[in-house]
C-alpha cells in the first residue's frame, strides 16, 4: 500500500450535481427550479414568517399572559425532607448551607419550608420563607424558626 493507490470507501464519494450547464446534462433549462414564479428567480428570499399572503400565525394569535419581574421564586422543601436530613446527619440546625451540601438546592435558590410530612426532631430551621403549617409543626416539635 502506498499513496498512489489509496481510494475512498465505495459509495462514500458522490459526484456533485452541476446544474445549468446545458440541456445535454439533463439539468439545464430551469436548473431544477421548476417553471416561473419568484422562487425560480435569482435573488429570491422570502421574509421570515411570510405565509404567501395569508395572515401569519404571529399576527393571527394574540399575545396573552403577564410575567411579573418582581416575582420571587422559592424552592420548596418539605418537613419530611428536614426530618430525613436531621436523622441522617444528626443535625440540630438546618439552614441554607446544610441543604446546599445535601444537594436539595442550588446556590441561587430561595428556600421555602412547607408543612408536608411529619417532623419529630427538635431542630432550628433557617430559610427565606415558611408556610403557617410548617411553622406550627417545627415549634410543636420543640424547634425554632429563623427567617432570613
Confidence (pTM): 0.58
C-alpha cell at 39: 422562487
- Per-residue pLDDT 10s for the chain (148 aa) are 899 999 999 999 999 999 999 999 999 999 999 999 989 999 999 899 999 899 999 899 988 889 999 999 999 999 999 999 999 999 899 999 999 999 999 999 999 999 999 999 999 999 999 999 999 999 999 999 999 8
Rounded Cα distance between 131 and 116, Å, is: 10
Residues 6+ apart with CB under 8 A from 76: 112, 114
Q: Report pLDDT for 46.
A: 87
* Of 76, 75, 74, 86, the residue nearest 119 (C-alpha): 86
Residue among 73, 124, 71 nearest 96 (CA): 124
Look at residue 52 in the predicted model and tell me its pLDDT. Answer: 87
CA-based diameter of the chain, in Å?
A: 94
What integer pLDDT is reported at residue 76 of this predicted model?
A: 97
User: Cα separation of 98 and 88, whole Å?
Assistant: 12
Q: Which residue segments constitute the domains of the chain, with CATH numbers given?
A: 74-147 (3.100.10.10)
- Pair type for strands 110-114 and 74-78: parallel
Q: Give the model's pLDDT for residue 97.
A: 94
Q: What is the pLDDT of residue 64?
A: 85
Amino acid at each position: 500500500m502506498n499513496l498512489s493507490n489509496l481510494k475512498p470507501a465505495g459509495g462514500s464519494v458522490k459526484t456533485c450535481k452541476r446544474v445549468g450547464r446545458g440541456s445535454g446534462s439533463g439539468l439545464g433549462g430551469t436548473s431544477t427550479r421548476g417553471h416561473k414564479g419568484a422562487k425560480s428567480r435569482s435573488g429570491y428570499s422570502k421574509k421570515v414568517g411570510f405565509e404567501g399572503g395569508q395572515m401569519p400565525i404571529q399576527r393571527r394569535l394574540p399575545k396573552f399572559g403577564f410575567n411579573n419581574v418582581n416575582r420571587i421564586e422559592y424552592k420548596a422543601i418539605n418537613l419530611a425532607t428536614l426530618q430525613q436530613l436531621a436523622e441522617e446527619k444528626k443535625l440540630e440546625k438546618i439552614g441554607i448551607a446544610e441543604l446546599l451540601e445535601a444537594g436539595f438546592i442550588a446556590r441561587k435558590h430561595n428556600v421555602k419550608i412547607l408543612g408536608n410530612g411529619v417532623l419529630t426532631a427538635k431542630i432550628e430551621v433557617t430559610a427565606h420563607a415558611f408556610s403557617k403549617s410548617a411553622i406550627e409543626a417545627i415549634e410543636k416539635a420543640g424547634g425554632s424558626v429563623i427567617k432570613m
